[in-house]
Amino acid sequence: MAGLLFGTGGIPHSARSSSTIDGINRIAELGLGCMEIEFVQGVRMGEAGARLVSEAAARTGVKLSAHAPYFINLNAREPEKIRASQSRILQTARIALLCGAESIAFHAAFYLNDPPEKAYDTVKKYLVETLNQLKRERNPVWVRPEVMGKVSQFGTLEEILNLSAEVEGVAPCLDFAHWHARTGEFNSYQEFVSILQQVKERLGRVALDNMHIHVSGIAYGKKGEMKHLNLKESDFQYSELLKALRDYYVKGIVICESPNLEEDGLLLQATYESLLKQS
Ligand SMILES: [Zn+2]
């Protein structure tokens, strides 16, 4: 098995139904390796359902992760919004554990015009509380704040790596499309290498052995991300990214978030495999 698994953010379009289990079965049929369960509109799965999902994943060998609801802002002004955000992360982590998933990804916060350093301290404080709760529950799921694509969103590469270094149980979700859209840069082999080098320096080799990556094509403007695109309709240099991942022996999962989901997931996987043969 290659060090990297490829899959989709959500149920493949060609699945028999929109159920998570049919999604897992379709991932296996397509020869992909992983799937991220999208709880983006809310965690709508019970414990019994999660156990069935876990069985399907074990039976097919498909590796799972989960994406927490979008309605999270750990830098919200209102205490009740902070509590609700924390509880959405906790709910996602609890169900993810029952599903047999090892990681959850989430969008941590908005700056709301705060200086980034102030937002960072606030996000970190509430994230520490959340991780402490998971620790009390002996829930070992990796909690992964995502590198975000809009300049209004908390989640620069540096912020995510700092949280990962400073909060136990936190690891990065590296969304390369988001970072490209946010900066207008980071779309070449050398730049992708510089990101991986930064991860290695800040978090150690161990982080590159356990990476959680999001990739898609992306449209962007001055304020960053506008919308996701299919890879071939975008300027995203995915082959260069895959070369960098190969050359750094990165291990973990690559979740494709292009609108065409499995089509680009398969494209990424096939490209990566052909790059492995060339090396
Ligand atoms: Zn996301």
Q: For residue range 117-154, what is the model confidence (pLDDT) as tens digits?
A: 999 999 999 999 999 999 999 999 999 999 999 999 99
Ligand 1 mean position, distance from CA 82 (Å): 19
pLDDT of residue 87: 98
Element (H, E) at 198: helix 189-203
Strand, helix or coil for residue 268? helix
Ligand 1 mean position, distance from CA 146 (Å): 6
Give the list of residues 6+ apart from residue 76 with CB closer than 8 angstroms, or none: 82, 85, 109, 112
Residues 64/57, Cβ–Cβ less than 8 Å: yes
Ligand 1 mean position, distance from CA 126 (Å): 19
CA 100 to chain CA centroid, nearest Å: 16
Q: What are the residues facing 144 on neighbouring strands?
A: 105
pLDDT tens-digit series, residues 15-57: 999 999 999 999 999 999 999 999 999 999 999 999 999 999 9
Ligand 1 mean position, distance from CA 173 (Å): 9
Ligand 1 mean position, distance from CA 60 (Å): 25
CA atoms within 13 A on the CB side of 272: 26
- Using the predicted structure, report yes or no on whether residue 2 has a pLDDT greater than 70: no
Ligand 1 mean position, distance from CA 277 (Å): 31
Ligand 1 mean position, distance from CA 149 (Å): 9
Ligand 1 mean position, distance from CA 29 (Å): 25
Ligand 1 mean position, distance from CA 105 (Å): 7
